[in-house]
Amino acid sequence: MTEGFLPVSKKEMEELGWDRVDVVYVSGDAYVDHPSFGSAIITRRLSAFGYRVGIIAQPDWRDELSITEFGEPRLGFFVSAGNMDSMVNRYSVSKKPRRTDAYTPGGMTGKRPDYATVVYGNLIRRVYKKTPVILGGIEASLRRMAHYDYWSDKLKRSVLLDSGADLISYGMGERSVIEIAEALDAGIDVKDITYIPGTVCKVKSLDSAYDALVLPSFEELRADKLNYARSFYTQYCNTDPFSGKRLAEPYSDHLYVVQNPPSLPLSQAEIDEIYDYPYMRTYHPSYEELGGVPAIAEVKFSLASNRGCFGGCNFCALTFHQGRIVQTRSHESLIREAEGFVKDKEFKGYIHDVGGPTANFRHPSCEKQLKAGVCRDKQCLFPKPCRNLNTDHSDYVELLRKLRKLPGVKKVFIRSGIRFDYLLADKEDTFFKELCRFHISGQLKVAPEHVSDRVLSKMGKPESSVYETFVQKYGQMNRELQKDQYLVPYLMSSHPGSTLKEAVELAEYLHRTGHMPEQVQDFYPTPSTISTCMYYTGVDPRDMSKVYVPVNPHEKAMQRALIQYRDPKNHALVAEALTKAGRTDLIGYGKNCLIRPDRGSAMERGDKGPADKRKSGRQVRENTDRKKDAAEKKPGKRKTIRNVHRKK
């Protein structure tokens, strides 16, 4: 295994005594050798199996020479857009360019192209006509089959076809990339590698995928959105490694994109091994002059204790990417990593996080999952926790206690999401108490997302009453501990199912509870989520029922403004929203009102008469003040200050 950073140039390759690399890894992110970066895990994994890996980070996609730094690799190119989908990375939900890129040196923007996976694949293919190209990372994973693309507002083909690549390694990839490399190393033509779990390939016939479940063709998907909804839900129900079927998506009579079932979950020993690789745990030194890579700051002293999530939020892509089966690292592995923090001169004694997609998931949701997989037709937590759900937090509690006792560690924070309905389902309060006592820095961030049960059902989140129970219990717990700690709720506007009525309901809740959210997330239709399918098709793919979808930018702006109704800049939008929703009773001076009337409006005057016949409260006060001033200046009526001084 290569010690130190992997080579990023031909010069560094030659310094290692290599004349050629086996694999060139192309990434849309800067090179950061830290296990929070997928590129670092995959390249270290390949290196651990004896393959020579060179890295080309953020190549200039306008220059074909940028992809030739190492020449033609012996086995092929492995390509990733980076830790994020390149379009999410580059654009806000309003489709405006972001000002910074945390995965680029100095936070600069413009170092990666739109649809980076497709662009990099075509760049390589123009230079190296026959060299195998394997796509990976979250962008390729979530775009592996036909998918709705929010930024172009259309249905797109599998990224495998548009990129000119040969294979996709989807999901976390540690198993499939090694199987792909070993197959190529054995001399198997990349076109014949059609059988590896966790991969997507393209074939001319279904002879090699005779047992595949054939989905509607791409033309059928484009012709009818309901076809897409049905096809998407079939894919969603086949994301389990134990029960998932092989799927085939036709593009013509002689072209099919075939998705093999997902890779099996890693054992704890395998995950420990991956996190024990000799990562440098920082960015490549060549970025130092540019200010380093900002993204490292959030993760450098954080511990990833798990992967996978059985929470099942409909707006989240984790089911499609990491899957629903939770996999964990051992206490020993996590403690070794934490002990390494203490030796770092920049460590101040604070472990920033111990978690993952959901911090308090430290084991599969039930015992049968590692043998039979997750249930196809129901979720673990939605709409109610399953009766077979294992809600035991004892392993997580024990881990946190061990970390708190480490010499040099002052505080262990939990900043990953806490699933509050899962926490409430635990009959023991030990974790809840220790969470409040030891692991919060003044405020706990949770994600109720909304308060309308109608919207929550479309989100795959628990009913609002569950969150209310959690709020009350959290407050009681902190009072018992004599802690002055608060909840910061994450909220989402404009999710499918949310009309102005539900948006007003959320605003009323915020008014009633006194919350003043500084940040609000508009629903962002990212590829391959149930919520995005609703957004595109107007139906819930789970039962094909119709769903109201706020797509008009002005309506979305109104829904967002309602959540931040206290901001004076939002006054006009809030007033318009309340009027359209038939809730003008919330405009006025009553204790339940969200905003005050506009100056001079009929609502402020209190009637519907013309403005010149009624005076506003402010006008009355101004007239009264003028009368008082006039009275003070009249001799014999009132003594002015000047007259008082003269008498003295």
Q: Could you report the per-residue pLDDT of 28-43, keeping only the tens digit for each?
A: 999 999 999 999 999 9
Q: At what angle do helices 174-185 and 38-48 cross, to 10 degrees?
A: 40
Q: What is the mean pLDDT of residues 151-161?
A: 98
**Residue 382 and residue 477 share a domain:** no
Q: Is 1 contained in some domain? A: no
**Residue 456 and residue 407 share a domain:** no
Q: What is the mean pLDDT of residues 462-471?
A: 97
**Residue 506 and residue 391 share a domain:** no
Q: What is the mean pLDDT of residues 448-473?
A: 96
**Residue 25 and residue 172 share a domain:** yes
Residue 3 has pLDDT above 70, yes or no: yes
Q: What is the mean pLDDT of residues 182-198?
A: 97
* Residue that is last in its domain, among 441, 470, 499: 441
Residue 635 has pLDDT above 80, yes or no: no
Kindly state the percentage of the chain with pLDDT values over 70: 92
Q: Is 161 contained in some domain? A: yes
* Residue that is last in its domain, among 200, 217, 251: 200
Q: Which of 167, 158, 165 minimizes the C-alpha distance to 194?
A: 167
Q: How far is CA 618 from the centre of its chain?
A: 48
Q: What is the mean pLDDT of residues 452-468?
A: 97
Q: What is the mean pLDDT of residues 302-308?
A: 96
Q: Is 167 contained in some domain? A: yes
Rounded CA gap, 561 and 577, in Å? 9
**Residue 499 and residue 380 share a domain:** no
Residue 129 has pLDDT above 80, yes or no: yes
Amino acid at 106: G
**pLDDT on residue 612:** 41
**Residue 568 and residue 501 share a domain:** yes
Contact between residue 225 and residue 536 where contact means Cβ atoms under 8 Å apart = yes
Lowest mean pLDDT across 267-276, 305-314, 516-525, 529-538:
516-525
In this structure, what CATH number is given to the domain that contains residue 556? Answer: 3.30.750.200
**pLDDT on residue 2:** 76
**pLDDT on residue 378:** 87
Q: What is the mean pLDDT of residues 583-596?
A: 96
Q: Is 381 contained in some domain? A: yes
Q: Is 289 contained in some domain? A: no
Q: Which of 450, 530, 516 minimizes the C-alpha distance to 488?
A: 516
Q: Is 423 contained in some domain? A: yes
- Backbone torsions φ then ψ of 289, nearest 5 degrees: -65, -25
Alpha-carbon separation of residue 354 from 406, 430, 447 (angstroms): 14, 17, 18
Higher per-residue confidence, 585 vs 638:
585
**Residue 492 and residue 403 share a domain:** no
Q: Could you report the per-residue pLDDT of 50-95, keeping only the tens digit for each?
A: 999 999 999 999 999 999 999 999 999 999 999 999 999 999 999 9
**Residue 187 and residue 97 share a domain:** yes
Indicate the pLDDT class of residue 623, thresholds 50, 70 and 90: low
Q: What is the mean pLDDT of residues 189-202?
A: 97
Q: Which residues does 87 contact at the CB level (< 8 Å), separation at least 6? A: 114, 115, 149, 150, 151
Residue tagged 């819930």 (tokens): 540
Q: What domain range is 504 assigned to?
A: 442-614
Residue 337 has pLDDT above 90, yes or no: yes
Q: What is the mean pLDDT of residues 410-425?
A: 94
**Residue 626 and residue 550 share a domain:** no
**pLDDT on residue 606:** 59
Residue 557 has pLDDT above 50, yes or no: yes
**Residue 162 and residue 42 share a domain:** yes
Q: Taking all residues of the chain, what is their mean pLDDT, rounded to a whole number?
A: 92
**pLDDT on residue 645:** 37
Q: What is the mean pLDDT of residues 329-347?
A: 96
**Residue 66 and residue 165 share a domain:** yes
Residue 367 has pLDDT above 70, yes or no: yes
Higher per-residue confidence, 296 vs 373:
296
Does the pTM surpass 0.85? The reply is yes
**Residue 540 and residue 449 share a domain:** yes
The domain total for the chain is 4
Q: Is 323 contained in some domain? A: yes
Q: Is 242 contained in some domain? A: no
In this structure, what CATH number is given to the domain that contains residue 37? Answer: 3.40.50.280
